[in-house]
Amino acid sequence: MERIYYDSKTGNVERFMQKVSELTGWTVQKIQPGMDVEQAGHLVTFTTRFGEIPDTTKAFLQHASSYLLSVSSSGNQNWGRNFAVAGDKIATEYGIPLALKFELSGTNEDVNEFIAIIKARKHHDNKRRSKELDFAQ
């Protein structure tokens, strides 16, 4: 069973994760300050301000990045090149493969694509088990 850690400010990512959880039964856990992470999982977060990683996500990454198999991010297409760019920045800064970028709370197609990417486990041939996952563009 997969574990997903997520960060949500406006509720968009939380709604996305509720859809994923309802369809899969996977464990989804909202990031909380001081939260202990002892199991590998995937991160889903949002992009804030003008293309920045949320502070709560940064704090989480400081102690949990080694447990993360992939990152996905939400954003708003109105921000152009900054659309969901937090996922790109996390992938670059922490070496965590980018799985998916989606708008706001995602469409049903986005939810199904996320589930398919995680289920595909195309990331099993290396240390983090996820370096080959970079699907999102």
pLDDT on residue 126: 35
Percent of the chain whose pLDDT exceeds 90: 64
**pLDDT digits over 102-118, tens only?**
889 888 899 999 999 99
Query: Does residue 137 register a pLDDT over 60?
Result: no
**pLDDT digits over 45-86, tens only?**
999 888 899 999 999 999 999 999 999 999 988 888 888 899
Residue 122, CB half-sphere, CA atoms under 13 Å: how many?
12
In angstroms, the CA 89 to CA 40 distance is: 20
> What domains are there in the chain, each with its CATH number?
3-133 (3.40.50.360)
Tell me what percent of the chain is helix, strand and coil, each rounded to the nearest 5. 40, 20, 35
Query: Does residue 136 register a pLDDT over 90?
Result: no
